[in-house]
Structure 1
Amino acid sequence: MPRYADPGAVQWVESGGGPLIAIPETVLPFWAGADGDDMSCDYDRACDVEGFIGLLPVGDTRALVLGDDPASTTYLPEHGVFVRWCAADSEDELLAVVPAALAQAAWEPETEWTVPGPVVLFDAAWPGTASESTDHLRVVLEPGRYGVRAARVEPGPETWVGLVQLRRLTP
């Protein structure tokens, strides 16, 4: 699989073809990925998420599934947003359009996600215990409630970006 931004300004996470998932570090051991004896494994649950985002129970909390497209994804803390590389000629071009894309996004309905702290973004097919030995990104989040909303924006004729924004909610 080609790596679009290798090396680049930010770290991108790739998928083998399925969804990416952001799981709180505290519950990584509870995510079995595509492993398991049941008829429906955790990976199947992630694949069943319709649309850009969804939440799935994992341990005593929930994980955020980035669905719809297995696009390369990074997190930009200065904007509080997962950026999904749908189409662009370069990493510089894609990252340059993020502020404008955020301003013009037609957001889908927001959902609430409570996290106990940092999360790890990786391919949902992997077990959580193997996340550090595969393509992953640790995202530092303060414990608490977040509003999560998603959009797909086409800020240019050859540039498309998926956005999943996390907004800290007041207690």
Structure 2
Amino acid sequence: MTPYGLPPEHQVLVHWCYAESENGVADIIRAGPPAAEWEEGPVLSTSGTSGAFVMFDAAYGGTEAGTLTDSAVLGLAGGRYRADSASIDPDDLRSFRTHRFVEMA
């Protein structure tokens, strides 16, 4: 999944906190994650050769996951991943929370 037309090396999930429009979002995300202060998150494991995860807002119950239109499917190869998060606040008018999945040995 590459949100906002980002290339594969920028595979992040973007939680849009606030902004007037999505104009320029891809440029902000491209510039932001490399300079962002990433917070290490929990570790998850996928079994087999690949796994598909449905990501959705925690306010929804797990039984609603298949019916949500504002969810994303993340495909990961089998293995262990740490879910890191960072905030990107380019100015007072826009704020995003980004999440990346770092493959662990």
Change (3 A) 1:146 1:127: closer
Which residue among 46, 66, 83 is the counterpart of 1:115? 46
Q: Root-mean-square deviation (CA), in Å? A: 2.4
Answer 1 or 2: which has greater strand percent. 2
The question of whether the paired residues in 1 share the 8 Å contact of 2:40 and 2:82 is answered with no
TM-score with structure 2 setting the length: 0.72
2: CA distance between counterparts of 1:96 and 1:88? Answer: 14
Q: Is residue 94–residue 161 contact of structure 1 (8 Å, CA) maintained in 2?
A: no
TM-score of the superposition, structure 1-length normalised?
Answer: 0.48
Distance 2:57 2:98 in 1: 17
1:89 aligns to what SS in structure 2?
coil
Structure 1 ranges of 4+ moved more than 3 A = none
Q: Is the 8 A contact 1:121 1:138 kept in 2?
A: yes
Larger-Rg structure: 1
Q: Share of identical aligned residues, percent? A: 26
Tell me the CA shift for residue 166 of structure 1: 0.8
| Secondary structure of the corresponding residue to residue 106 of structure 1 | coil
Match of residue 26, structure 2, among 95, 99, 114 = 95
- Match in the other structure for 1:141: 76
Offset, 1:81 = 1.1
**Post-superposition shift, 1:83?**
0.6
Change (3 A) 1:112 1:158: same
Which runs of structure 2 are paired with 1:1-171 in the superposition (5 Å)?
78=8, 79-116=10-47, 117-124=51-58, 125-128=60-63, 130-135=64-69, 136-170=71-105
Q: Which amino acid aligns with 1:106?
A: E
Instruction: Give the CA deviation at 1:89.
Output: 2.3
Structure 2 residues without counterparts, runs of 5 or longer = none
Q: 3-state SS of the aligned residue for 2:56?
A: strand
| Unaligned residue ranges in structure 1 (runs of 5+) | 1-9, 11-73
